[in-house]
Chain A
Amino acid sequence: MGVTDITIITPPASKKPIEAALAQHPDLTALPSPKPDLLAPADLEFNTPTAELLRLPEVQNVIKSDFLLLPCDLICDIPGDALLESYLISMAGIAGTGADFGTQSQLKTRNQFGLGAEGSGRRGGLSVWYNTVNREESVKKEECDFMGTVALDTYHKAPLQKVSELPDGRLRKLVWTTPMSEVFEEAEENKAWRIRQSLLRRYGSVKCMTQYRDSHIYFFPKWVKEFAMQNEDFESISEDLVGTWAKAEWRKPTFRAQFGANKIFKKASAPTTNGTGTESRNKNIEEEIDLLSLSSTQITQHVPNATQLKPSQPIQFASRVQGTNPEDSMISTTTDESTQDDEDGQGNEQDSSIPHLPPMLSFMLSSAPSAPLVRRVDSTPLLLSVSLLLAKLPSHDQISSTTTPSPFSHPSKIHPTSQPPQQHCTIKQSCIGSNCTIGAGARIQDCVIMDGAQIGEKAVISGSVIGKKAVIGKGSKLKDCEVQDGMVVGEGVDVKNEKFLVGGFEEGDDFGEEDDDDE
């Protein structure tokens, strides 16, 4: 539904197992079409930064239109079509002008990014954010992202937006995002946390959230592919790419220029010459008609509008250039200020010619506990809490046939192949994988025990995650521990808050990003 291709991007090392799983696992083979393609770029490793991933040539080739980027560690209870719908309504090019679905001959003559409605401020991005605290699956010290949002512009707000099937939440424009850890660091360093004045000048009311987290669900227009390509120093998508993009709107024009706004959007007008006469006229007709201005629910954009805004902007720059004002040095940008100021001085006339980046929107889920579950499961405590939460869902055989079960619910509470545990076991609120052996007299509470683990007799385990085929010795006591796959914990160990890992191996980065080309 609106998604034409699904690509799973994975490092070459894990291509085989995923391939096998896609071909064999009953849940995966039963997925509706389009069937996912597996892409294993040669240079991709488990710790490749996410923005680097977008620059890989294989990935660049795959992106042919607006696309949707999903992380591999996501659990999302929102129907994807609701999100996609709201993206299409609020951000997509009017009347689908953003989608590149032409015949071959057309693609050649048409410029790469043209017809995108970027000029009218559409074809931006959409990200999804969720609340991390006060939820059932919340854990302590969870990673959060700082976000600043402002109300939507009228041309992104469809008059009937409220009718859409989205769950409770807000669609707002994202103007600032950075990880909370960085905010704390900076506050530590400067004994204060400083906000750029240009942000406040531009937007009167900015809502700042400190306990939300970016779910890494991104709806990106096609030009982001180029945006990532232009900026080699982007490391992560959420921090650098989206962070820069969000700021680009209210920072001075040179800021956008520095990140390649010129190169990305200026192309649109350039290649009119290489088309034949009629085709260039075709394009003209689509460009000269501003459907949004014609629409009665939108405010007409006037050409002089742009020039009117200009006089006010240089004044801002002027004040900033003169003063050694602190707000310039505040956000750690990758450039030195001197060059920027130089450009500023002479570039006032050019400023008007630097195209604006369309905005990045954020869909913020409601903070109420009843909000649907959206989580990135990227740490062990989260894995534990989310697994336990999902295990609480009524299983298929417990639900009457009339109500549709949650997509996350298990077919049955107890797997048919599982062996009955030994005598005198106490197992409370835990997830136990298949083929586990649990010795007699073991006590297990609030645990996730993965497939094939062996728990010795009279072991007491609580709040722990036991990896696949791990062996826990007899009579050991583990509390809030983490045991990696295949580890053997000796007999009689009594530990708390410990990690049994091999060689300091870190939990996998989001190595396998899923990449759907929508539309």
Chain B
Amino acid sequence: MSENAPSTNGVSASSSDATPSFATMPDPASIAEQTPDTNSGARQERPQPKQASTAENIAEAGAGVKLTGAQLKQRKQAEKAARRAEKVTVKGEQAQIQQVQSSSSGRPDVKQRRSSQGEQLQTPQSHHKRKLSNQPPEPGAVRIPFRPGQQPPSTPQTQQPPQPKHAEKRVPLVSHLYPSGKPASLTTASREIHPSVLTLALQLRNLTIAGSTARTLSLLLTLKRVIKAYTTPPSTALSRHLTTHLSHQISFLSSARPLGIAQGNAIRWLKKLISQLDPDLDDNDAKKFLCDAVDSFIQEKVTLASEVIASQACSRIEAEGETILVFGKSSVVEKALLKAAKDEGKKFRVVVVDSRPLFEGRNLAKGLLRAGMREGGDLDGCQVVYSLISGLADALEQNCVTKCFLGASGMLGNGSLYSRCGSAMVAMMAKQYNVPVIVLGESLKFTAKMAVDSLSLNEVGDADALVERDESQTFTSDVPPKQEDAGKKGGGGKKKGGDEEQKEEDEDASKNGLLESWRDHPNLYLLNLMYDITPKDYLDMVICELGTLPPGAVPVIGVHGGDE
């Protein structure tokens, strides 16, 4: 290559003089010289600069150390020039092609310019047809039909590469909520991910650990372990490097499941703490300080806070005759109920409302029963009623509910409650029956974020969770088990008709395996939103460790970590 390149430049001569070992190396300066030539006329030579640059890269990798600073600078400049020249060439080519195309299709080439490099072979006509017709461009990504005249936001650049047939099917309306990138797994973990972070990520992904408080605590405890195992690399300061080190771990965790509001607050607090560390502090001391700080943070913001909230909530429960409606499972709500029943000996009835697909309320109900809220149990006198959300109205009416306790995933800046999907319905229904709705949540869960609808701020769960499969009981057979496993219950999503029968599910064998194959139906989507938002009009009070407030006063408390 370098022999071909005309080395007319004095600079190139000097560089080869200085390092005789590079005598055969292609000279960058000469490429810079060469490329304008190719641009001006000889287009058949266009691939040349590319080859030259790769050859150069190889040479550089081989003995790049020997170059002096000045030479490096020169080379960089030359490279830049080469790149620019290359671009110009490509553009020139494109323009020519476009001209040819436009002349053949008889269109003004103003419109053509907008099309990107990748699309250049496609004629604009076909493009427009595609937009107007409601057909999905490919099975993977279906777009909403655009209003006529509206400039489509999806310019050709955003067109995705064709995906395999069974790729993620996404509901277009909430496409922004889907996680980008691969979900966390052992194979996606990089080398620097701490083993306990790896474990936690998998457990978060598979919802072994769910619920805002549990997630936040597990995150903090894990990060504490990471900090303990951390050693500052030489020539960096702990306060600077540790944050980036933690960021890697956290981003891996968030690829397993998007971080919740409380988790975000805790991370922000920790990072701020690290960045404010005294740089003169010894590493071991700093680590010890951080671990202690995490411990006291947990104690102050979670353990003791939930204790305070529980006793506050307790004081709102009358000694006799109350019926309390709860939804799903919230650790604080459970704590409050148990405290009222156990420590204060109050007699009340708990109506646990539950919904698919996680059936967290079932866990709460079982937990309460195990604690003794049943006949002959330790907490005899307390009753537990279990109902699915579809029977909510009946549950409210028949049980004469007097209060409604809701757990929180977050309290938003406008006083709305961000909690497990279904909470809003429960709160509204309770309001309908004039039942006071009380939210229990640590101030760690308060955020300045605002949302008026559940679509802007939410999390998309695994759609397959909505397809319910029953484990077949036989598994030694010659039939492939997949056919047996086909779900007995194929009820549609949230709309599935459940009965308010206590602790009973209706077996709906008639819809055998309807949703199993949802990915094969082009127009069938499953959407499993994890959270919803309850406007503050439906909430009566929020109990946090700092006191009892009306929901509108949430921003007054001040947001933890100050995420304005």
Partner of B358, one of A84, A168, A209, A297: A297
A363 to chain B, nearest CB (A): 12
A390 to chain B, nearest CB (A): 22
B202 and A89 form a contact (CB under 8 A): yes
Partner of B203, one of A88, A105, A168: A88
A105, B198: Cα distance in complex, Å? 23
A154 at the interface (CB under 8 A from B): yes
Partner of A367, one of B298, B328, B358, B476: B476
Task: Give chain B residues whose Cβ lies under 8 Å from the Cβ of A298.
Answer: 208, 363
Residue of A nearest to B208 (CB): A158
A364 at the interface (CB under 8 A from B): yes
Question: CB-defined interface of B482-522 with A at 8 Å, one 1/0 digit per residue?
Answer: 10000000000000000000000000000000000000000
Residue of A nearest to B230 (CB): A103
Task: Give chain B residues whose Cβ lies under 8 Å from the Cβ of A154.
Answer: 363
A81 and B465 form a contact (CB under 8 A): no
A369 at the interface (CB under 8 A from B): yes
A170, B426: Cα distance in complex, Å? 37
A296 and B208 form a contact (CB under 8 A): no
A180 to chain B, nearest CB (A): 15
Interface residues on B, range: 35 or more
A64 to chain B, nearest CB (A): 12
B366 at the interface (CB under 8 A from A): yes
B203 and A89 form a contact (CB under 8 A): yes
B563 to chain A, nearest CB (A): 24
A92 and B199 form a contact (CB under 8 A): yes
A282, B291: Cα distance in complex, Å? 8
A84, B199: Cα distance in complex, Å? 10
Residue among B187, B221, B475 having the largest count of chain A Cβ atoms under 10 Å: B475
B185 at the interface (CB under 8 A from A): yes
- Which of the candidate stretches B30-38, B107-115, B188-196, B439-447 sits at the interface with the other chain? B188-196
Task: Give chain B residues whose Cβ lies under 8 Å from the Cβ of A84.
Answer: 186
A81 and B198 form a contact (CB under 8 A): no
Partner of B199, one of A88, A293, A297: A88
Q: Given A96-B199, A296-B328, A302-B371, does the pair A89, B206 have CB atoms closer than 8 Å?
A: yes
- Which of the candidate stretches B133-141, B211-219, B532-540 sits at the interface with the other chain? B211-219
Question: CB-defined interface of B212-247 with A at 8 Å, one 1/0 digit per residue?
Answer: 011001110110010011000000000000000000
- Which of the candidate stretches B10-18, B74-82, B142-150, B329-337 sits at the interface with the other chain? B329-337
B475 and A367 form a contact (CB under 8 A): yes
A14 at the interface (CB under 8 A from B): no
Tally of A-B Cβ pairs under 8 angstroms: 204
Q: Given A160-B207, A168-B481, A304-B371, does the pair A96, B217 have CB atoms closer than 8 Å?
A: no
B489 to chain A, nearest CB (A): 14
Partner of A296, one of B195, B198, B214, B372: B214
Partner of B295, one of A89, A282, A302, A367: A282
A33 to chain B, nearest CB (A): 9
Partner of B217, one of A103, A163, A294: A294
A418 at the interface (CB under 8 A from B): no
Residue of B nearest to A286 (CB): B221
A4 and B206 form a contact (CB under 8 A): no
A31 at the interface (CB under 8 A from B): no
B56 at the interface (CB under 8 A from A): no
A296, B362: Cα distance in complex, Å? 10
Task: Give chain A residues whose Cβ lies under 8 Å from the Cβ of B370.
Answer: 299-300, 302, 305, 308
A13, B34: Cα distance in complex, Å? 66
B186 and A89 form a contact (CB under 8 A): no
Main secondary structure of the interface of B (DSSP, over half): helix
B205 at the interface (CB under 8 A from A): yes
A302, B370: Cα distance in complex, Å? 7
B478 and A97 form a contact (CB under 8 A): no
Q: Given A96-B196, A99-B199, A282-B295, does the pair A297, B303 have CB atoms closer than 8 Å?
A: no
Task: Give chain A residues whose Cβ lies under 8 Å from the Cβ of B526.
Answer: none
Task: Give chain B residues whose Cβ lies under 8 Å from the Cβ of A304.
Answer: 371-372, 378
Partner of B477, one of A367, A370, A519: A367
Q: Given A4-B195, A162-B469, A300-B367, does the pair A96, B200 have CB atoms closer than 8 Å?
A: yes
B119 at the interface (CB under 8 A from A): no
A368, B482: Cα distance in complex, Å? 10
A192 at the interface (CB under 8 A from B): no
A292, B372: Cα distance in complex, Å? 19
Question: CB-defined interface of B452-487 with A at 8 Å, one 1/0 digit per residue?
Answer: 000000000010110001010001111111100000
Residue of B nearest to A161 (CB): B206
A207, B473: Cα distance in complex, Å? 9
Partner of B221, one of A99, A163, A289, A366: A289
B299 at the interface (CB under 8 A from A): yes
A159 and B358 form a contact (CB under 8 A): yes
Q: Given A84-B186, A102-B228, A162-B464, does the pair A297, B208 have CB atoms closer than 8 Å?
A: yes
A95 and B221 form a contact (CB under 8 A): yes
A98, B202: Cα distance in complex, Å? 14
Task: Give chain B residues whose Cβ lies under 8 Å from the Cβ of A93.
Answer: 199
Q: Given A291-B218, A294-B217, does the pair A168, B198 have CB atoms closer than 8 Å?
A: no
A339, B459: Cα distance in complex, Å? 59
13 A–B contact pairs at CB < 8 A?
A89-B202, A96-B196, A98-B199, A158-B208, A163-B206, A211-B476, A291-B217, A295-B208, A297-B209, A299-B363, A308-B370, A368-B478, A519-B198
Please give 17 more A-B residue pairs, beta carbons under 8 A apart, in addition to A1-B186, A89-B202.
Answer: A1-B189, A85-B186, A96-B200, A96-B225, A101-B194, A162-B469, A285-B299, A289-B221, A292-B209, A296-B331, A296-B420, A298-B363, A302-B371, A367-B476, A367-B477, A368-B480, A369-B478
| A-binding residues in B (CB < 8 A) | 185-187, 189, 194-200, 202-203, 205-211, 213-214, 217-219, 221-222, 225, 228-229, 284, 288, 291-292, 295, 298-299, 303, 328-331, 334, 357-358, 360, 363-364, 366-367, 370-372, 378, 420, 462, 464-465, 469, 471, 475-482
